[in-house]
């Protein structure tokens, strides 16, 4: 980020810092957005032939988005993130055993 | 772009203006990128779902299916987004390291 903001000679140091922080925040938001895109895609039915991925949208395409589909998606997202945190925790523990 | 990076502002208020303009531009470009990503995903998924046997043109039942598919996909996206954001703010407030997210 500092690289990008160094190329802005028209700004003073404080402004460059502010912009650098701002861009970092926006990039973090964009990363979250991108994960949401991927997860929505993942739990949408009929993608590829991977039948091991749970499918939440079970009604026909003409039916409305239902409460059970919503709570299914919520569980998918929460358990996916649980898994992510759990794996990281495991790896950190293994690392501390080694070190 | 050249107006943002090229000129030297004379006053502090010029700089303030350029700064806000730059922030706005960053936000707008990210929003456009995200919208494009959503449109691509909808196109891929709904084409697979609705246009199972592509013929010489889109039929009216295929178009109806695409409209419904799009609505449903956006609802699923909204729900996923809500759940994800809610989870992240819960993790932040409970001080669990969230760099994995």
Note the ipTM here. 0.76
What pLDDT, on the 0 to 100 scale, is given for residue B96? Answer: 53
Integer Cα distance of B47 and B54 in angstroms = 9
| Alpha helical stretches, state H, B51-97 | 60-93
Place of tokens 């109806």: B64
Contact A28, B73 (CB under 8 A): no
Report chain B residues whose CB lies below 8 A from the CB of A84. Answer: 100-101
> Nearest CB to A32: which of B38, B88, B97?
B88
Give me chain B's average pLDDT, please: 86
Place of tokens 């196109």: B43
pLDDT, tens only, B76-99: 999 999 999 999 999 888 865 545
- Show Cβ contacts of residue B54 under 8 Å, excluding neighbours closer than 6 positions: none
Place of tokens 């500092």: A2
Q: What is the pLDDT along chain A (99 residues), one digit of tens a residue?
A: 455 655 676 788 899 999 999 999 999 999 999 999 999 998 888 655 556 667 788 878 888 899 999 999 999 999 999 999 999 999 999 888 886
Contact A56, A43 (CB under 8 A): yes
Average the pLDDT over each of A45-59, B39-53, B59-73 and give the range with the smallest value.
A45-59
Query: With an 8 Å Cβ cutoff, is B30 touching chain A?
Result: yes
Nearest chain A Cα to B16, which residue? A15
Domains of chain B listed by start with CATH number: 2-93 (1.10.287.810)
- What the block records as the tokens of A57 is 């949208």
Query: With an 8 Å Cβ cutoff, is A78 touching chain B?
Result: yes
Q: Provide the shortest C-alpha distance from residue A84 to chain B (in Å).
A: 7
Helix and strand element counts for chain A (H, E):
3, 0
Q: Provide the shortest C-alpha distance from residue B56 to chain A (in Å).
A: 23
Query: With an 8 Å Cβ cutoff, is B65 touching chain A?
Result: yes
């Amino acid at each position: 980020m500092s690289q990008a903001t160094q190329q802005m000679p028209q700004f003073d140091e404080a402004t460059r810092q502010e912009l650098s922080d701002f861009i970092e925040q926006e990039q973090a938001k964009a990363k979250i957005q991108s994960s949401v895109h991927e997860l929505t895609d993942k739990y949408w039915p009929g993608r590829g032939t991977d039948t091991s991925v749970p499918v939440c949208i079970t009604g026909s395409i003409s039916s409305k988005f239902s409460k059970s589909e919503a709570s299914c998606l919520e569980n998918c997202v929460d358990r996916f993130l649980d898994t992510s945190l759990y794996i990281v925790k495991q790896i950190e523990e293994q690392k501390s055993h080694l070190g | 772009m050249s107006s943002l990076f090229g000129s030297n502002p004379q006053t502090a208020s010029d700089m303030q203006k350029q700064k806000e303009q730059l922030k706005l531009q960053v936000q707008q470009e990210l929003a456009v990128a995200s919208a494009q990503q959503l449109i691509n995903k909808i196109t891929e998924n709904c084409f697979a779902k609705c246009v199972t046997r592509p013929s010489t043109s889109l039929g009216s039942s295929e178009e109806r299916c695409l409209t419904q598919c799009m609505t449903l996909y956006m609802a699923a996206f909204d729900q996923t987004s809500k759940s994800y954001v809610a989870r992240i703010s819960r993790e932040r407030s409970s001080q669990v390291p969230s760099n994995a997210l």
